Amino acid sequence: MSDFLSAYSIQNWLESCPQGYLMATVYGHDPDEREIALICDNPVLREDAIRTTVQLVVGERCALSASSGLINAAPDEASKRFLATQTLDEARHVEIFTHRLYDLGVRKEDLESTIRHHANPNLVRFAEVLLEKVDRKDFIAGVVGQNIVLEGMAFSVFEMMYALNQQMNPKFAHTLSGTIADERRHVGFGENRIGSLIRLHPEQKPAIEKMQKDMSYYMLATFADAFKQTQAIDELERIGQEQPHAQYQGVDLGEASPQQMEAVLADTVLKEFKTRLGRIGIEYQTPAHP
Amino acid sequence: MRAVPVSGDVHDLSPEQFYEEVHSFEFWFQAVEGYLSGLTWGHRPQTADPTLPAADRERLITILCNYCVGETAALDGASGLVAIAPNRLAKVFLSTQVVDEGRHLEVFFHRLRELGVADPEAEVERRASRSLLLFRRRLLELVGSKDWEAAIFAQNVILESLEFAVFHSHAEGADPVTAEILRNVIKDERRHIGFGENELGRRLANAPHIRARLGQTKRELDHLVLDALADTARLIGLPSGEDERLSRMYLGSVERLGFVL
């Protein structure tokens, strides 16, 4: 166990993250990169970008609370130290997505009201299910919920958003690429550390499986709400702006309907859950369809 | 974009912009990049590490084990404080503190391994000072009770001042590797103390009644801190009377922060 955890040391984190892929970035992107005029100058597209970014802030605030809260519950020093790096990663994500809101024109004094206005209730409920486990200092359920379910979802969502923005909005794509690299590390820790703990505590499996089922339901409900918001696509069509033909999981996102995009995202995330949960000895539970 | 003023001095910023700047990941990264770049496990790889005499090595192991107790308390305390921090900027700053404390724990563990300790976790448990364990328990109770002012006082003023005084004294006479590790840890502690001083200073100015509660916390924790200081001074090998100087240094640090309670 200690050999595996040595790969998650703060020394490695310092070398690979702040002194690696984040070098020379400011709030996650190159100092001279800017939000594109297409979004900033169009009220409909700007509002849609704000709504999307708010969901990222909500998710990252949940991840920050969860990773910091799990430090006290961690059964060994090496896990505490890994979670310390994850805490700072999540705080950085909160910071960079909050700054994107400022870049999109949200005033600092309106930040919290903007987040309250746009936060998806299903995403808030998703976070609450996880944070209930963290509040009870339930380390195993907390790490499964945080590093496999939440991070697994974030990883796929960020990858899809990265594909959508890579050509159109290099600044936001750059911001996302750093968070994707972080999330990859977090998911790896969850899988590696928790498998051994679950073998020691098989009695916890039913509660963890129920948590995964509940969180998956609220995640699908969040996706359903998000892809029903078609104002931005309608606006792009209205102004004659062609959507980039980005590929995600073999689908051309420039051609796909919102329903097809929702389906491919949900399918990708749930398949990942099934694979990763299987590796740690947890049986994937199919959620109800919202 | 970052709100650095034309002068390049963050103190020229408006108060709101100042906090946005100095409590950010960006500011933390710029700060640590200056002194952690090129280090491995808290020191330069080329720093000489002569073999210590057996008695000195034994004493150093006990000292480092107790530093690990203090740093674990600081890590658990800071991470718990993230949840009760009153705003986003405080949460982000405390997250940088969490990773600082995690790093301190890691470099002390690594130093223990370099000194031949096969299982540092077990060794820490075996050699932990009772006073420090009690301090840790009380700190976590304050964090658990969601008493923001008392918890930040215990964590970022009392504990950080204790560590600052001890590490400073120890670094003066320590072997080259340990001294370098300690000096780099002290640089982090300065930032943490600054946050505690600033956060509590503003709160005390707006609500003077908090002072009485903090005074009670300090009185409750002082004897644990002073006991720990006396133990550490003996282990570091400070001459007779020097433990009193260390105690005065700690009390002076707290007083300089404006906490004459």
Of A14, A27, A77, which is closest to B26 when you measure between CB atoms? Answer: A27
Give the model confidence (pLDDT) of B25-36 as tens digits: 878 888 887 888
Query: What are the DSSP calls for A185-245, one per residue?
Result: HHHHHHHHHHHHHHHH-GGGHHHHHHHHHHHHHHHHHHHHHHHH--HHHHHHHHTTPPPP-
CB B196 within 8 A of CB B257: yes
Structural domains present in chain A: 2-279 (1.10.620.20)
Q: Which residue type is seen at B124?
A: V
Inter-chain touch A91–B29, beta carbons under 8 Å: no
Q: With CB atoms and an 8 Å threshold, state whether B88 touches A94.
A: yes
pLDDT value of position B181: 97
Closest CA to B34 of B184, B135, B250: B184
Structure tokens at B142: 């304050």
Distance CA B261, CA B254 (A): 9
Nearest to A146 by CA among A91, A98, A181, A190: A190
Whole-structure pTM value: 0.89
* Under 8 Å between Cβ of B115 and B57: yes
CA-nearest of A159, A197, A147, A285 to A1 is A197
Q: Domain segments of chain B: what residues?
A: 14-30+50-256
How many alpha carbons fall within 13 Å on the CB side of residue B182?
21
State yes or no: pLDDT of B63 exceeds 50: yes
Report percent pLDDT > 90 for chain A.
Answer: 79
Hey, how many other C-beta atoms are within 10 angstroms of the C-beta on A281?
Answer: 15
Name the fold adopted by B14-30+50-256: Ribonucleotide Reductase, subunit A (1.10.620)
CA atoms within 13 A on the CB side of A275: 9
A46-101 confidence digits (pLDDT tens): 999 999 999 999 999 999 999 999 999 999 888 999 999 999 999 999 999 999 99
pLDDT tier, B3 (very low <50, low <70, confident <90, very high otherwise): low
CA-based nearest residue to A155, from A110, A128, A188: A188
Looking at residue B1, its pLDDT comes to: 44
C-alpha distances (whole Å) from B133 to each of A94, B74, B99, B228 are: 34, 12, 21, 10
Interface confidence: ipTM more than 0.95: no
Contact (Cβ atoms closer than 8 angstroms) between residue A145 and residue A70: no
Could you read off the pLDDT of A188-236 as tens digits, one per residue?
887 878 888 999 999 999 999 999 999 999 999 999 999 999 999 999 9
Residue of chain A with shortest Cα separation from B119: A2
Mind spelling out the 3-state secondary structure of A172-197?
Answer: HHHHHHHHHHHHHHHHHHHHHHHHHH
Alpha carbons B226 and B19: distance in angstroms, whole number: 33
Q: What one-letter code names the amino acid at A215?
A: M
pLDDT number for residue B254: 73
Kindly give the residue spans of alpha helices, DSSP state H, lying in chain B: 15-22, 25-36, 54-84, 88-114, 120-127, 130-144, 148-152, 160-173, 176-206, 210-236, 242-256
Q: Which of B19, B92, B114 should one mutate to test binding to chain A, selecting the residue with the greatest count of A CBs within 10 A?
A: B92
| Nearest Cβ partner for B95 among A77, A80, A88 | A88
Kind and range of the H or E run holding A248: strand A247-248
Query: Could you say which of A31, A81, A91 has the minimum Cβ distance to residue B25?
Result: A91
Ramachandran sector of residue A119 (left: φ over 0; alpha: ψ -120 to 50; beta: rest): beta
